[in-house]
Amino acid sequence: MPAATVSPGAQTPGAGRYAPSPSGDLHLGNLRTALLAWLFARASGRRFLMRVEDLDRARDSGGANRQLADLRGLGIEWDGEVVFQTDRGKLYTAAIERLSARGLVYECTCTRRDILAAPTAPHAPPGAYPGTCRNRSEGERAVARAAIAPRLPALRLRAPLGDEVLTEFPDLMLGTGRGDIDDFVLRRGDNTVAYNLAVVVDDAEMGIDQVVRGDDLAPSTPRQILLQQLLGLPTPEYAHVPLVLGPDSARLAKRDGAVTLAQLRDHGVSDTEVRGELAASLGLAFEGERPSMDTLLARFDPAKLPREPWIWHPRE
């Protein structure tokens, strides 16, 4: 396996991060995860970095600034400048080229409907890619490209098969995390780099060795670890934390009322009150307390964190 190209930024070890996607204002679930990411990093002596994952064309152009302001309002500060994924296209292209040079990338012209309708291998999870385009000849690929023009083919990873693929990983919160691996997308047909590739390249280049994020992302982690191995990049330690759910036990959403800092401010709730409520949900404060960030850091013990989702109920 070729040695990884390590940037100057990746030579400084020891960093955690938070990486919001600017698709709207952060809600209490996002803010709670950000607070945990900050606490995990600072408690372990790591730097804490901020990355805005703004590759998706549907992102809100002003959302990033509002999100960053809300994080500061909660008391979360970070080291260095904010990193934006839209500034990093050359890094992603270089990673795809390295994989392609080893025969690990192929074109795919399948639509989502095609994938769902195709027969899959026994025991494959629902929606797993069935390998339709994996072994096409160059002539077959040319015909397929012409059939979808002007749309571009997606690029998929030719994932190793069999027992050599690891689908479990150690996790500071879950104990053992699990996820399936198929020939997943590296670059979509609209030329947008896929999340799994971008996050792997970014974390390695930024020197991030601790990833704290919501446990809904745990199933994608084996894919990212596979990419790290194929690219010769280090694997961070992972902590997938429980989500915040609404009163109906579904994922927290706007339908649940005032769930963002801006909405709560309109209801007379201060940012420090929100921080106290989030801290109480983590066992780091008593009800009604408004602890400082330094106080939370002094009390923080990952072993004592709740492992179940927090059910949030709106104020009357």
**Residue 197 is encoded by which pair of tokens?**
């590739």
Say whether 19 counts as a known binding-site residue.
Answer: yes
Say whether 133 counts as a known binding-site residue.
Answer: yes
One of 3.90.800.10, 3.40.50.2000, 3.30.460.80, 3.30.930.10 is the CATH number of 90-195, namely: 3.90.800.10
- Are 198 and 220 a contacting pair, CB within 8 Å? no
Is pLDDT at 123 greater than 80 in this prediction? no
Say whether 20 counts as a known binding-site residue.
Answer: yes
Domain ranges within the chain, ordered by starting residue: 14-87+242-311, 90-195
CATH no. for 14-87+242-311: 3.40.50.620
The pLDDT of residue 1 is 28
Say whether 108 counts as a known binding-site residue.
Answer: yes
> In 3D, which of 71, 128, 113 has the Cα closest to residue 293?
71
The distance between the two most distant Cα atoms of the chain, rounded to a whole number of Å, is: 68
Distance CA 31, CA 294 (A): 17
- Are 109 and 144 a contacting pair, CB within 8 Å? yes
CA dihedral 37, 38, 42, 48 (to 10 degrees): 90
Chain centroid to CA 173: how far? 16
Residue with tokens 């401010």: 265
* Mean pLDDT of all residues in 20-28: 92
Residues above pLDDT 90, as percent of the chain: 79
Is pLDDT at 310 greater than 70 in this prediction? yes
pLDDT digits (tens, 9 = 90+) for 69-96: 999 999 999 999 999 999 999 999 999 9
When pLDDT is cut at 50, 70 and 90, the band that residue 212 belongs to is: very high
Say whether 136 counts as a known binding-site residue.
Answer: no
Question: How many residues make up the chain in this entry?
Answer: 316
pLDDT digits (tens, 9 = 90+) for 152-178: 999 999 998 766 677 899 999 999 999
Is pLDDT at 64 greater than 70 in this prediction? yes
Say whether 129 counts as a known binding-site residue.
Answer: yes
The pLDDT of residue 98 is 98
The pLDDT of residue 290 is 97
Distance CA 178, CA 165 (A): 12
Expressed in angstroms, the distance from the first to the final Cα of the chain is 59
Say whether 254 counts as a known binding-site residue.
Answer: yes
Say whether 195 counts as a known binding-site residue.
Answer: yes
Domains 14-87+242-311 and 90-195 share a fold: no
Amino acid identity for residue 91 in this structure = L
When pLDDT is cut at 50, 70 and 90, the band that residue 118 belongs to is: confident
Span of 58-67, 149-158, 166-175, 237-246 with lowest mean pLDDT: 58-67
Q: Where are the beta strands (DSSP E) in 79-172?
A: 83-84, 105-108, 154-157, 168-171
pLDDT digits (tens, 9 = 90+) for 284-299: 999 999 999 999 999 9
Say whether 291 counts as a known binding-site residue.
Answer: no
Say whether 213 counts as a known binding-site residue.
Answer: yes
When pLDDT is cut at 50, 70 and 90, the band that residue 119 belongs to is: confident
